[in-house]
Amino acid sequence: MEEVVRARGHENVTAEHASTWELTSDDWLTPAGDCILAVETDRVPADFDAEFVAACRDADATVEATLRADGHEQVVTGSGHPDLTFDGERSFVARTSDYVDDRTVMVGADTAAEGFDREFVAALADGADLECVFRVA
């Protein structure tokens, strides 16, 4: 089962956050947003199919995000959690911790923003289009 999100990079993408990465539907990004990889998502968590969300609520679920931009690819693997709601109306957050709020789409992620390939981050800072495919198993 998968869900696809499209967005674009922004000149203020730095990807320096140590415990999360984020995609936002906002059309702007300040330098303080060091976890945000892309802006103007075409969907938000609340748009995801109920069956996909239910699968992510299984504590044994593996949630994977494959992010592609300008010939670069990064795969992040994490876990589902019974408290995931996918009610977020603004952004997707992948967390290395087990903290859950309405924006959280995976916990226990094996990569935070600071772990993304620097060439990938540079492409996003240059405004590259991003595709993120979320899968749950």
SS3 string of 50-111? HHHHHHHCCCCCEEEEEEEECCEEEEEEEECCCCCCCCCCCEEEEECCCCCCCCEEEECCCC
pLDDT of residue 135: 98
Tell me how far the alpha carbon of residue 112 is from its chain's centroid.
Answer: 10
pTM: 0.96
Three-state SS at 3: strand
Q: Tell me which amino acid residue 31 is.
A: P
pLDDT at 119: 98
Q: What are phi and psi of 89, to 5 degrees?
A: -105, 5
Domain ranges of the chain: 2-136
- The whole-number average pLDDT for the span 100-110 is 98
The residue type at 58 = D
Mean pLDDT score across all residues of the chain: 98
Residues 44, 91 contacting (CB under 8 angstroms): yes
Mean pLDDT in residue range 66-72:
98
The stretch 119-136 carries a mean pLDDT of: 98
pLDDT at 122: 98
- The pLDDT of residue 34: 97
User: Would you tell me how many other CB atoms lie within 10 Å of the CB of residue 29?
Assistant: 21
Give residue-wise pLDDT tens across range 13-55. Answer: 999 999 999 999 999 999 999 999 999 999 999 999 999 999 9
What pLDDT sits at residue 19?
98
Supply the pLDDT for residue 28: 95
Tokens of 62: 């593996």
Distance CA 22, CA 106 (A): 11
Does domain 2-136 fall under CATH 2.60.120.630? My reply is: yes
Please state, in angstroms and rounded to a whole number, the distance separating the CA atoms of residues 120 and 127.
11
